[in-house]
Amino acid sequence: MGDPEKRRRLTTETQRHKVFIMEEKNKFHFVRISIIIIIGIIAGAILFFHAFPGKIKIVEHFPKAPRLVRAIQMSILNYESTYGVLPWDTKKDFKFCTENKNDYDILLEILTCTPGPGNSNMAKGNTRNIKFLDIINEYQKEGYIDPWGKRFSIYLDLDYDNTVKIGNGNRKGTVFVYSSGPNGKDEEGGGDDICSWKD
């Protein structure tokens, strides 16, 4: 009948071998499933980027837009602090925007000390040649635009009563700036507009 101890050892070794084979199979299946999941995630991300490129750009641009809005506002306030007046000489409040882009581009040339698309060379508006605002990429070709390709809207209190009418309401202050936001619609500070007076 053979040695019982030897049979016991053979049985134990056989069982261990089976357990080892099962563990290796499980590892193989786990690795294969993990690879399939990773490939699926990558494929899904690629499809999303191709299907919704505009939405990705919106997410990317949101942090940049408020910085530009604040930069424009602070440049005008610093101009006012330096020269004692705002950088325009009409006697009533004025809105610089896409609809009057020539005036807009001249204002930005005054603030940047750099000719823009109109190349107006408005040094006379900034006689000390102080660079209050840094230019952005494509400024000289496209103008000072927001991340979605639109000019900002800039309200100046040029009658110096510390009140500016924006949309249907009045705001206290001298300088107000906003971007039309991802939808590109000027909503006078409403909708998705990104405004200097909003946190």
Per-residue pLDDT, averaged over 112-135, amounts to 84
**Average pLDDT of the chain to the nearest whole number:** 82
Please tell me the pTM assigned to this model: 0.68
Residue 58 is predicted with a pLDDT of: 41
Position 172 pLDDT exceeds 90: yes
Residue 38 is predicted with a pLDDT of: 83
Which among 74, 171, 91, 65 has a CA at the least distance from the CA of 188? 171
Q: What b/e sequence results for 176-186 when a residue is b if at least 16 CB atoms lie within 10 Å of its CB, and e otherwise?
A: bbbbbbbeeeb
pLDDT in tens, 41-81: 886 666 655 554 544 444 444 578 999 999 999 999 999 99
Residue 59 is predicted with a pLDDT of: 42
Token pair, residue 127, equals: 């006689």
Position 102 pLDDT exceeds 60: yes
* Domains in the chain: boundaries: 4-51, 58-195
Band of the pLDDT at 109, cuts 50, 70, 90? very high
